[in-house]
Amino acid sequence: MANVVVVGAQWGDEGKGKIVDWLSERADVIARFQGGHNAGHTLVIDGKVYKLSLLPSGIVRPGKLSVIGNGVVLDPWHLVGEIAKLRGEGVEITPDNLMIAENAVLILPLHGELDRARESHNAVAKIGTTGRGIGPAYEDKVGRRAIRVADLADEATLALRVDRLMVHHDALRRGLGIEPIDREALLAQLREIAPQVLPYAKPVWKVMNEMRKAGKRILFEGAQGALLDIDFGTYPFVTSSNVIAGQAATGTGIGPGAIGFVLGIVKAYTTRVGEGPFPAELKDADGERLGERGREFGTVTGRKRRCGWFDAVLVRQTCATSGVSGIALTKLDVLDGFETLKICVGYDLDGERLDHLPIAADQQARCTPIYEELEGWSESTAGARSWADLPGAAVKYVRRIEELIQCPVALLSTSPERDDTILVTDPFED
Ligand code: GDP
Ligand code: IMO
Ligand code: MG
């Protein structure tokens, strides 16, 4: 029996939420380990749509423990709002089924303000962030001036932390033309929200290790995707955390040995939201068609996602950096009806063929895709629940992807619905 880590293997929005929801039936604990409410994970259960940003996708299943680990940056006002929204949709959330790490860093209103001010003030430095303060909050974490969940319990500590933050932030704000922080108002806001967050605050590392010893099954839910990773992504057009599988251990306080199966979530084509290089991007009718059929609009910001062909070079690379054991291939149905399909199998950089994406930004921008063409299929794969339901050309497409990325398919998804999923290998039993 293995614990399972689910990670995005492209630029996010691969369908992690749907797969985590499906797998969570087999799990006891579902834990987020990085990112924050920049994530947007969609679950569709018997036609009912749930959109989660901060809460683990396991929260909709009764009897499961959902965990927000120390690697997450937590906006307490958003947390309370998301809990209220889900309760309104009939989901039960109490300190018995939701636990938040005491050492998780808080996102404050000033982080969102800074994020948005930077994005709008400086066209040169624009990243196309979600504007939710993720980057500035992580900056304060490594800058050793952040406020953490546990600090909410003590007024004197809170005041000290706010003073420390103000020294740094007021200087930045002056430069950007934003008024200084209102110390008393911020402290009052924090005092007001504290009793709504503190009941969930626990030593997550301890509970996780106890769960592990007791043989409970843990499912780690990654956010974003490996190409948005702060180290291995298309820097600087990335998010501000490590999102690859290794982060599951440091982001919850459990040793790396607790990670068994790494499930990479892979969309059958490629999308990206925000700025940055995207070699296999399509700016033509095929790209439009992928966007329309795949309903490629951001869950968090509503922005139109950029679309392109499947890029096997990138996924082979991200399977390596996360140590992916098997992939869940999603949205195969979106490709129904294309006469021919293309897969990017290499890049041309100034006349030289590359089998990986180079690190240097100027080289990334100059990489042009080398494509292989495959036959499409006219039949519908939407809602298929077994291999036997798939047309031959679709099976060939999937097999070719496995060969090119050097990683097997463990799950296949053919619609947004929970049960429209084909199981090849059970990650918990592998
Ligand atoms: P996440 O951020 O990785 O959880 O993915 P998002 O929820 O942001 O985006 C994935 C979108 O694709 C959601 O609207 C899902 O409901 C939808 N989706 C997931 N799997 C499939 C699939 O196999 N087929 C289709 N057509 N849609 C899917
Ligand atoms: P899920 O979990 C897709 C992108 C933003 C931007 C960059 C930095 O739903 O897959 P940030 O606000 O994190 O500082 O923005 O990262 N981004 C995502 N793109 N899916 C996500 O999450 C994303 N989270 C952040 O669009 O380009
Ligand atoms: Mg998403």
**pTM given for the model:** 0.97
Contact 124, 156 (CB under 8 A): no
Q: Quick one: pLDDT at residue 141?
A: 98
The band of 387, judged by pLDDT with boundaries at 50, 70 and 90, is very high
Quick one: what percent of the chain has pLDDT higher than 70?
100
206 annotated ligand binder: no
pLDDT at 93: 98
Q: What is the pLDDT of residue 413?
A: 97
| Pocket lining: 130 vs ligand 1, CB cutoff 6 Å | no
Does residue 308 carry a pLDDT above 90?
Answer: yes
Residue tagged active-site, from 21, 37, 41, 311? 41
Percent of the residues in the chain that have a pLDDT greater than 90, as a whole number: 97
What is the per-residue pLDDT across 235-294, written as a single tens digit (0 to 9) for each? 999 999 999 999 999 999 999 999 999 999 999 999 999 899 999 999 999 999 999 999
| Dihedral in degrees, nearest 10, Cα atoms 349, 353, 358, 363 | 0
Residue 211 CA to residue 29 CA, distance in Å, equals 8
* Rounded Cα distance, 172 and 23, in Å: 44
Active-site residue flag, 13: yes
Please work out whether the CB of residue 53 comes within 6 Å of at least one atom of ligand 1: no
* Selection from 301, 286, 229 nearest residue 12 by Cα: 229
* Cross-strand bridge partners of residue 66: 30, 98
- CB neighbours of 245 closer than 8 A, spacing ≥ 6? 5, 7, 222, 259, 262, 322, 323, 324
pLDDT in tens, 1-55: 689 999 999 999 999 999 999 999 999 999 999 999 999 999 999 999 999 999 9
Return contacts of 175-178, CB within 8 angstroms, 24+ apart. Answer: 176/114, 176/117, 176/118, 176/121, 178/113, 178/114, 178/117
Distance CA 279, CA 395 (A): 25
DSSP annotation of 149: G
Tell me the best of 60, 263, 330 to mutate to test the pocket of ligand 1, counting ligand atoms within 8 Å of each CB and taking the most.
330
- Distance, CA 64 to ligand 2 centroid (Å)? 27
Tell me: the pLDDT tens digits for 80-95? 999 999 999 999 999 9
pLDDT at 56 over 90: yes
**Which amino acid makes up residue 123?**
A
CA of 94 to the centre of ligand 1 (A): 27
Backbone angles phi, psi at 249, to 5 degrees: -75, -50
The pLDDT tens digits of the residues spanning 324-383 come to 999 999 999 999 999 999 999 999 999 999 999 999 999 999 999 999 999 999 999 999
239 is in an annotated binding site: yes
Query: Ligand 2 pocket check: which of 129, 134, 139 to mutate, most ligand atoms within 8 Å of Cβ?
Result: 129
* Predicted pLDDT at 251: 98
pLDDT score, position 121: 82
Query: Is residue 122's pLDDT more than 90?
Result: no
Domains recognised in the chain with CATH numbers: 4-101+201-258 (3.40.440.10), 105-197 (1.10.300.10), 265-429 (3.90.170.10)
What tokens were used for 321? 């950096």
**Radius of gyration in angstroms for the set of CA atoms belonging to the chain, rounded to a whole number:** 22
What number is the average pLDDT over the span 403-420? 97
Q: List, as ranges, residues with CB under 5 A of the ion ligand 3.
A: 13, 40, 299
List pLDDT tens digits, range 164-209. Answer: 999 999 999 999 999 999 999 999 999 999 999 999 999 999 999 9
